[in-house]
Amino acid sequence: MNITDTFRRPIRDLRISATDRCNFRCVYCMPKEVFGPGYQFLKLANLLSYEEIARLAAIFVDLGVQKIRLTGGEPLVRRNIEVLIEMLAAIPGLDLALTTNGSLLEKKAQALRDAGLQRITVSLDSLDNAVFTAMNDAGFPVEKVLAGIGAASAAGLNPVKINMVVKRGVNGDSILAMARFFRGTGHILRFIEYMDVGNANGWRMDDVVTAADIIAMIDAELPLEPVDPSYRGEVANRWRYRDGGGEIGVIASVSQPFCRDCTRARLSSEGKLYTCLFATRAHDLKALVREGASDAEIAEAIAGIWRVRDDRYSQTRSSQTVQLPKVEMSHIGG
């Protein structure tokens, strides 16, 4: 099937949150003030089992999904995640990726690769330990994430993509150091504009360092040139170093919204379908699965949801929309 939404956007990418738990408390995603000791995470019984996730994934692929990205919270904290990766990797023709904070990667990289993972993205917001530990708010050191990136590369998960969320006044001074460090490594560093995902991070427009600012800062020292997108709906704007030092990307959801070509759906770990990162409502697929619906019935339900999809939050962002009761990023992954 080739279903499209009200803006004729097909469903091509599915992001699956394996868990809402994480061992970090990144200030732009899971600030401790909200996700502190008393916070109620989802119980295991409420999570989709790996078999249920794999079944839903196959249904989404039949509807047109070509790429699945496993996210969290932190997906590697869910036990035996390799088992899920093996199940998903068995779906023919699927492009299978995972996003991680890298904390468990040094230990798990080879097993993820052996299970069938094809691509990996690691979050790293600074090379400065004081800045990084302040941002992850879990005291987790830079060198361990770098060791994870090294292990992923050694396992053959190349090029590794590195995501850096940039927040003004917090890690803006780390941009150039990150660019210098990853230039020439073959890995792809992507800068992400700080976003008003959920409501926990207290987002303000003043804290956003725009894509244009970031590119200008790097270009002044390391000349860049733009690169054409490799496919419709690609999230990052691509740039390469003029001296052949490789590629970087910027994800500019705030200053250069890309909703027009958004082909992404999100499935939470408790089986709810979200049609936008900034969604305020969801559709319960787990209930359908557990009530015994057939694959065809579930596919029709998903198709029905997608056909009436009209999300384009980033294009309509305003001081009013920021206050909307949006789903937290840790619940559905980036």
Eight-class DSSP state of 210:
P
The span from the CA of 9 to the CA of 306, in Å, is 9
CB of 30 to ligand SF4, least distance (A): 19
**Sign of the torsion formed by the C-alpha atoms of 177, 29, 272 and 10:** negative
CB nearer ligand SF4, residue 54 or residue 235: 235
Judged by CB under 6 A, the residue of 259, 288, 301, 303 near ligand SF4 is: 259
Residue of 60, 138, 24, 57 whose CA lies nearest to 306:
60
Does residue 314 belong to the site contacting ligand SF4 (CB under 6 A)?
yes
Which one of the spans 18-26, 107-115, 136-144, 252-260 is the region binding ligand SF4 (CB under 6 A)?
A: 252-260
Does residue 311 belong to the site contacting ligand SF4 (CB under 6 A)?
yes
Measuring CA to CA, how many Å separate 295 from each of 57, 269, 275, 313? 11, 19, 20, 30
Helix (H) or strand (E) holding 28: none
Q: Identify whether the C-beta of residue 64 lies closer than 8 Å to the C-beta of residue 3.
A: yes
Does residue 258 belong to the site contacting ligand SF4 (CB under 6 A)?
yes
Which one of the spans 68-76, 97-105, 141-149, 256-264 is the region binding ligand SF4 (CB under 6 A)?
A: 256-264
Does residue 115 belong to the site contacting ligand SF4 (CB under 6 A)?
no
CB of 167 to ligand SF4, least distance (A): 19
Judged by CB under 6 A, the residue of 236, 262, 265, 299 near ligand SF4 is: 262
Which one of the spans 58-66, 78-86, 300-308, 310-318 is the region binding ligand SF4 (CB under 6 A)?
A: 310-318
CA atoms lying within 13 Å on the CB side of residue 299: 16
CB nearer ligand SF4, residue 7 or residue 39: 7
Helix axes 50-62, 295-307, angle to 10 degrees: 60
The span from the CA of 260 to the CA of 245, in Å, is 31
CB nearer ligand SF4, residue 131 or residue 279: 279
CB nearer ligand SF4, residue 58 or residue 197: 197
The span from the CA of 327 to the CA of 280, in Å, is 6
The span from the CA of 252 to the CA of 124, in Å, is 17
Judged by CB under 6 A, the residue of 67, 78, 264, 283 near ligand SF4 is: 264
The span from the CA of 147 to the CA of 107, in Å, is 9
Does residue 276 belong to the site contacting ligand SF4 (CB under 6 A)?
yes
CB nearer ligand SF4, residue 30 or residue 262: 262
Residue of 166, 221, 155 whose CA lies nearest to 189:
166
CB nearer ligand SF4, residue 101 or residue 263: 263
Which one of the spans 73-81, 237-245, 259-267, 288-296 is the region binding ligand SF4 (CB under 6 A)?
A: 259-267
Which residue ranges make up the site for ligand SF4 (CB under 6 A)?
253, 258-259, 262, 264, 276-278, 311-314
